Amino acid sequence: MTCLELFDYLDRYHAGTLSRLEAEAVEQHLLGCAECAADFRFQRSLKGKTAALANEIAPAHELWPGIRDQIRGISTTVATARPAWLRTPWLIAATIVLMGLSSGVTALLTRTGNLQPDGGSRDFQSTEVGYRQAADELLRTLQAHRKELGESAFRVIEQNLHIIDQAIQETQAALASDPRNQQVTELLWASYEKKIDLLQRAAHSVES
């Protein structure tokens, strides 16, 4: 499924009207495409905001320009989504790795908006486990190519992974004391996504 094809499915995905196979195809694409995943989360949060509005009361005048602009923003992105020729076999392979670990990550992509750690939510935990497994798998793959990457480049990656891991620890600590904070939850997922993106890019750089 390409980014453009995904766009056709997203509305129906949010509405829950896709077949199981179609929904899985959407989820698999989102697992391998950080940009579409970011747009997906944005649409989902937008849906949450609009759903929270009362039906009988006309929304405040200044609310609509924001929503309209955000929607325009989405369509701009999709209309100019990264073309297929820019994608590489290695990234597809990395995506397959992620797909193989999809049980937890799929939960993330499909339910991020409601995922919070309060009460030891199984979805939250499985999502985090999914991210960790995906990152560990990519890191193992990268370590196998350490020589091709070169020591200094590997050190740069390690240093940046350390920065991301610190950010993850800080958000986790914040969530431990404020488990219902959706914004911090989203920042946590964003940090995990940056970690996976960095590892994917590092892997991409050793691809010949």
Partner 1 sequence: MSSLRWLSLALAVLALPGASAQAQATGQRVERKLAIDPDASIRIYNLNGSVRVEGWDRDTISVVATIGDPLKNRFFFGGGVHGAKMGIESPMELDQAPAHLIVKVPTRARLWIKAATASIDLSGLEGGVDVSSTSGNIRFEGNPDQLNLETMDGSIEVTATGPWIRTKTASGAITLRGQGEDVGATTVSGDINLLSTGMRRLRMETVSGRLNFSGSLARDGALTAESHSGPVDLLLAADLSAEFDLTTYQGTITNGFAPERRPTRQGEGQELHITVDTGTANVTVRTFKGPIILRKK
**Which stretch in 4-12, 25-33, 99-107, 171-179 sits in contact with partner 1 by CB under 8 A?**
171-179
95: Cβ contacts below 8 Å, ≥ 6 apart: 28, 31, 32, 33
Question: CB–CB of 34/87 below 8 Å?
Answer: no
Q: Is 129 in the site for partner 1 (CB under 8 A)?
A: no
Class of residue 23 by CB neighbours under 10 A (exposed 0-12, middle 13-18, buried 19+) = middle
Measured between alpha carbons, how far is 153 from 207 in angstroms, rounded to an integer?
14
Q: Which of residues 8, 11, 136, 148 is near partner 1 by CB under 8 A?
A: 148
Half-sphere exposure for 21 (CA within 13 Å, toward CB): 0
Question: How many residues are listed for the chain in this entry?
Answer: 208
**Cβ closest to partner 1, residue 125 vs residue 182:** 182
Measured between alpha carbons, how far is 161 from 141 in angstroms, rounded to an integer?
15
Please, what is the minimum distance in Å from the beta carbon of residue 208 to partner 1? 8
12: Cβ contacts below 8 Å, ≥ 6 apart: 18, 22
**Cβ closest to partner 1, residue 8 vs residue 158:** 158
Q: Is 73 in the site for partner 1 (CB under 8 A)?
A: yes
**Cβ closest to partner 1, residue 121 vs residue 181:** 181
Measured between alpha carbons, how far is 185 from 187 in angstroms, rounded to an integer?
5
Please, what is the minimum distance in Å from the beta carbon of residue 35 to partner 1? 7
Please, what is the minimum distance in Å from the beta carbon of residue 21 to partner 1? 30
Q: Is 191 in the site for partner 1 (CB under 8 A)?
A: yes
**Which stretch in 4-12, 75-83, 127-135, 137-145 sits in contact with partner 1 by CB under 8 A?**
75-83
Q: Is 187 in the site for partner 1 (CB under 8 A)?
A: yes
Nearest-5° Cα angle at 44, 42 to 47: 110
**Cβ closest to partner 1, residue 100 vs residue 150:** 150
Footprint on this chain of partner 1 (rule: CB under 8 A):
35, 38, 62, 65-66, 68-70, 72-73, 76-77, 80-83, 85-86, 147-150, 152-153, 156-157, 159-160, 163-164, 167, 170-171, 174, 178, 181, 183-184, 186-187, 190-191, 194, 197-198, 201-202, 204-205, 208
